[in-house]
Amino acid sequence: MAKGVLVDIPKCIGCEGCSVACKLWNELEWDQQEKNKTASDRAAEPNNGLWPEEWTSINRYDLQKNSSSVRRYVKTQCFHCEEPACVSACFSKAIQKLPEGPVIYDQKLCVGCRYCMMACPFDMLRYEWKKAVPGIRKCQMCPTRVANNMEPACSSVCPTGALTFGDRDELLAEAKKRIKEKGYIDRVFGENEAGGTSWLYISDTPLEEMRFRTDVTPNPLPSYTEGYMKATPMIGVSWAAILAGLFVINNKNKDPLD
């Protein structure tokens, strides 16, 4: 059964332990400039604080709730779509969706075309612009851990229960239970967006105020292009046959010495 992570936004205290765990488990480089940024700084960045060596980011938002000021922290990373547009767009098969849930990336297969970046409806992939042989970088959802029924490094260190790992179907039921009990906004982000995601979010404040893409179609994005993509090989073969025929016709009556 596919796994997932439920993010209970009001429970997050912004300790950034998940970010540190991600760095350590994935052996990511520590950038001093990024290290010095605050959660507010990252929330204001166009890329939500995600960089090639920053696979997860904690962003702070100061909001209004019932005429009172509240502070919310949001963990941001690849959402690991159920039917990923990035996988559909990657012709080199560098990005794959595992049955357990993670969407993984193999840099050895990547050709650097960045089609996956353009396809992602949530803008979660980052390109290594500064490298001579660049590739794509993103959260991998700790696939070796998940395959062995261990939770991702990030959720394993969460001290407040803001991150809950488990079967996606069970997490959806738990999310709806918490929404009812705690009076949260009646929406589980990730239940239907782009066909559904492995990461699910619930909140007591409007999601769009925390830069969530709430206008994403509920349909899997590959469903819009699958028919065309399946027809592409046939179109290629047809054009090859047409061009070969034109070549034969054009040269049929020519003198070989011309």
Domain 3-82+141-210 carries which CATH code? 3.30.70.20
Any known ligand binding at 143? no
Any known ligand binding at 158? yes
**Rounded Cα–Cα distance for residues 5 and 233 (Å):** 38
Any known ligand binding at 22? yes
Q: What are phi and psi of 73, to 5 degrees?
A: -110, 135
What pLDDT does 121 receive? 96
Rounded (5°) CA angle 4-8-14: 110
Asked, colleague to colleague, whether 3-82+141-210 and 85-137 share their fold, the answer is yes
Domain 85-137 carries which CATH code? 3.30.70.20
Any known ligand binding at 154? yes
Any known ligand binding at 218? no
Nearest to 11 by CA among 77, 76, 73: 73
Question: Residue 197 above 70 pLDDT?
Answer: yes
Any known ligand binding at 139? yes
Nearest to 5 by CA among 159, 161, 109: 161
Domain extent listing, the chain: 3-82+141-210, 85-137, 222-250
**Per-residue pLDDT tens for 63-92?**
999 999 999 999 999 999 999 999 999 999
**76, two tokens:** 């941001």
Question: Residue 118 above 70 pLDDT?
Answer: yes
Average pLDDT, the chain: 90
Question: Residue 230 above 50 pLDDT?
Answer: no
